[in-house]
A = this chain, B = another copy of it.
């Protein structure tokens, strides 16, 4: 529907991608709205763009903040700050089209359809949660791997200077609870201090 036909594949150029996202999102929402009115249905559209731009350092802190990482005792991460920079924030949006939900009267609205929607959203939620956990676990593993390598390297260096190796970890589970909002990434870990 434009000057030329476009292939459906990832748009590499970042700004074009952003522009297309805005335009098509608008279209999608409008279509959902129309459908909900025309066919008296309840439609939810949840779109999260995966635009990984403009990193802010304490994003990961917030994530850890909000979600207790149950493998925290395995999280003996080196250079958490660098890792954090790999987590890029995103643009997000939520649109819920619920035209029908407003005009209901007791006898002809199906409570059951709302219950279905609830259940379906629950299903969507569990998919999202499962994927989130999986990705976080992957991150944990890669952190552990890097840590292990660095510890080894460190031990070699330490033996060369005839000193004992200390690994000092601050925070861990509770570290970003207090200073997680708006500040720079705290120095969470010091090696060989």
A residues near B (Cβ < 8 Å) are 6, 8-11, 17-18, 20-21, 24-25, 27-28, 31-35, 37-52, 59, 62-63, 66-67, 86-90, 92, 94, 96, 98, 100-101, 104, 106-118, 120-125, 127-129, 131-132, 135-136, 138-139, 142
Q: Decide: A45 near B45, CB < 8 A? Known: A20-B39, A121-B125.
A: yes
Query: In the complex the two chains form, is B39's CB within 8 Å of A117's CB?
Result: no
Tell me what chain A mostly uses at the interface: helix, strand, loop, or mixed.
helix
Query: In the complex the two chains form, is A113's CB within 8 Å of B50's CB?
Result: yes
Q: Which single member of B96, B109, B136 contacts A124 (CB below 8 Å)?
A: B96
Q: Which single member of B27, B66, B112 contacts A59 (CB below 8 Å)?
A: B112
